[in-house]
Chains A and B, each alone.
Chain A
Amino acid sequence: MSNAAGHERSGRGSPAVSRGGRRSRRPGVASAATLLVTAGTLAACGSGGSGGTPTLTWYINPDSGGQAKIAASCSEESDGAYTIETSVLPRNSDAQREQLVRRLAAGDESIDIMSLDVPFAPELAQAGFLAPIPDDVASEVSEGVVQGSLESATWDDELVAVPFWANTQLLWFRKSVAEAAGLDMEKPVTWDQLVEAAQDQDKILSAQGRRAESLTVWFNALIESAGGHIIDKNSTDPDKIQLGFDTPAGERAAEVMHEVATSGAVGPAFSTSSEDTSASQFESPDAGFMVNWPFVWAQANTKVEAGTLEQSVPDDYGWALYPRVDEDTPSAPPLGGINLGVSKFSNYVDFAYQATECITSDENQADYMITNGNPASSAAVYDDPDVQENYPMADTIRESLEASAPRPLSPYYSEITGGLQREYHPPAGVSSSTGQQADDLISAVLRGDQLL
């Protein structure tokens, strides 16, 4: 949908006009390489602006059209200073990163603003692909932002990306099942309690055991909830990164992972189950508990509207903070979401930063949350009456975001998550020695001694 919208816009201006416009703004470039880049630029964004209005290209992750709508309204709001066009990245977040890294490494000028999944900022910042944020913009965009989002947009003590929306996993439960199991969901619950309750009631406890980013999300939440970290001591030098898999907290996380995976309560095909699998399991009559992102709420309601799901099903949905690993330690829920990066190779860095301020305004975040189901990173948005009405769990989401812990921030994130997924998959095979193995593997990969 958003894809189509983007293309429609890019088709507007005639290529001849836009080519002239581009050239005149870039005097003195004659190398073949630049011509190639220009050709790529034209193909990628079309540069549909009229006359001398700069066109900013915003590479967005696919959504339900919300970012394209924000782009249009911010273009209008800029009063002719710039227009924003969107260009859609692949659906999968790994593929989004791959495309952006490749384009940025080639110095692609067609990228002005990028929607970055939360773990990506350090890698791009360390490589020098992100334009430094002006101080006034930095203080403006970080005001009132939930802690986790701010942390994920910071690298080397500097804000390197603009927090846009933030995501977090909640513990979803069927009220009827929790009641029958005698669990008091007003109080924090532990994984042990959930496993026991699901086994007792013969219901499914849904989590994500697939070899994918979701496994890292789960493991990170477990180790952080146990008081540890995947990266114990961070560094920009890959040889000096100290990993925390082989620690008591890491061992505890592995223990919980193994316990859940082998409990017999996780449903069939746990080692290939994704967020979508969990969401559909949770709509089934066998549903009991689930950890998942808030999209499940919007999805269930959409299905009710379409008549494929009984209203009684979402009525039975309850939500609480992410489960604890140990009874006395608060949980650290997973953090997701999107931060906005501005490319160093952009021709309009100033305009791009102006645009990010507009895009991340509280009104836009609230609207985006209501229409696209993606929670805001600005805490104030959760007080918006419309948000409160559409998301009865808004306060829980905000609370969860405040308690959330980002995944490890490192320029070598893809090595860390790749190594983790290799060692901790399948979750049922995780044992007390997995931590040591993961430590060894990832360290060797970072040193360049092993393949991944």
Chain B
Amino acid sequence: MTTTTLPPGKKTEPVSAPPGGLSDRSRAERRLGWRLAGPAFVVMLAVTAYPIVQAIWYSLFNYRLTDPQNRSFIGLGNYGVILTDSLWWQAVAVTVFITVVTVVVELILGFALALVMNKALQAIRPILRAAILIPYAVITVVSAFSWAFAFNITTGFVNSWFSWLPGIGTDTDWFGDKWTSLLVICLAEIWKTTPFISLLLLAGLAQVPDVLQEAAMVDGATWWQRMWRVTIPNMKAAIMVALLFRSLDAFRIFDSIFVMTAGANGTESVSFLAYRQTISRVEIGLGSAVSVLLFLSVMLIAFGFIKGFRIDLSQARGER
């Protein structure tokens, strides 16, 4: 592939490493580092690791919150129930569908928005950026409600505004069918989280060195060539980070589905299943098992991205 990137900057090696390991000074620095980071580390353990471990522990029990006396250890029984249930696989399929559709559309839209923001006149750039960011500042439940109301058959305006389109009439019931429900759910997600992707991509665009663009221009490269050969290869890390974060986020979708369909017509996501078992049915064991499986899926996505696309997070931060 003929892409143009800058050669990796040479790292400054220590001039002379003292023989026999760490010097007193670096040992002291390391201690200081631990002391500074320690409290945050402990807090992270308490608020993240502890609940995760507890969920894994609970997932091995048949445990109903209203019937704690009959709590019994069933090993991996809950996982067996979940993984042999078609409802689980249907929820996984719906979740994957929403994740793929929203992330792909958001990436394209987000990239376009990032380009606009990047190229916009200095004077209007702050206003433009704020305008693009507004949807991201809206609470997901609020955004879900506004989309639900917009598409609602009695309170919504969508049916009357778009009735000139084929297939849409004044009594089109958007939430009465699986695919139209999913369409609205995806639209709401895309509207809300595209700004997130575009912000990350904007940061990536800013990292593309102007010298390369100028060199390409001098060589007579067209706009497309510069985009494909210069811009995108140089911001690959930013793109991958944006994709990774959004995929992890999208896979945990809950609010929009809860508000719009409450899981009707086969629109349940994996998070929704976890909610129904844990919160509605107060089956802590089964619900924890669903949550653990959700956690594993998210881990798998993160792992897949990092290994599969060789993303280096520190690279995206511009450290290397």
Residues of A contacting B66 with CB < 8 Å? 101, 105, 123-124, 126-127, 129, 411
Residues of A contacting B62 with CB < 8 Å? 448
Check A98–B279 contact: CB distance below 8 A: yes
**Minimum Cβ distance to chain A for residue B254 (Å):** 15
Check B263–A426 contact: CB distance below 8 A: no
Check B65–A451 contact: CB distance below 8 A: no
Contacting A at CB under 8 A, from B70-86, are 81-82, 85
| In the complex, B93 has a CB within 8 A of chain A | no
Docked pose: A426 CA to B175 CA in angstroms: 11
Contacting B at CB under 8 A, from A66-125, are 94, 98, 101-102, 105, 123-124
| In the complex, A415 has a CB within 8 A of chain B | yes
**Minimum Cβ distance to chain A for residue B286 (Å):** 7
Check B264–A451 contact: CB distance below 8 A: no
**Minimum Cβ distance to chain B for residue A276 (Å):** 9
Residues of A contacting B263 with CB < 8 Å? 211
| In the complex, A425 has a CB within 8 A of chain B | yes
| In the complex, A452 has a CB within 8 A of chain B | yes
Interface size of B in residues (CB-CB distance below 8 Å): 31
| In the complex, B176 has a CB within 8 A of chain A | yes
| In the complex, B312 has a CB within 8 A of chain A | no
Check A451–B154 contact: CB distance below 8 A: no
Residues of B contacting A448 with CB < 8 Å? 62, 81, 283, 286
Determine the residue in chain A with the shortest Cβ distance to B285: A448
Q: Counting chain A CB atoms within 10 Å of each CB, which of B280, B283, B290 scores highest?
A: B280
| In the complex, A308 has a CB within 8 A of chain B | no
| Interface window among A264-272, A310-318, A400-408 | A264-272
Check B281–A272 contact: CB distance below 8 A: no
Q: Mark B169-208, 1 if CB is under 8 A from A, else 0.
A: 0010101100000000000000000000000000000000
Docked pose: A280 CA to B68 CA in angstroms: 45
Residues of B contacting A418 with CB < 8 Å? 276, 280-281
| In the complex, B265 has a CB within 8 A of chain A | yes
| In the complex, A361 has a CB within 8 A of chain B | no
Residues of B contacting A124 with CB < 8 Å? 66
Closest 8 CB pairs of A and B: A268-B171, A211-B264, A127-B66, A269-B173, A269-B153, A271-B176, A105-B65, A451-B85
Given contacts A268-B171, A272-B173, 8 further A-B contacts (CB under 8 A): A94-B280, A123-B66, A126-B67, A269-B154, A414-B282, A415-B281, A426-B176, A452-B87
Please name 23 pairs of A and B residues whose Cβ atoms are closer than 8 Å in the assembled complex, sorted by A. Answer: A94-B280, A101-B66, A101-B282, A102-B282, A123-B66, A126-B66, A126-B67, A127-B66, A211-B264, A268-B153, A268-B171, A269-B173, A271-B173, A272-B176, A272-B264, A414-B280, A415-B281, A418-B281, A448-B81, A450-B87, A451-B81, A451-B273, A451-B276
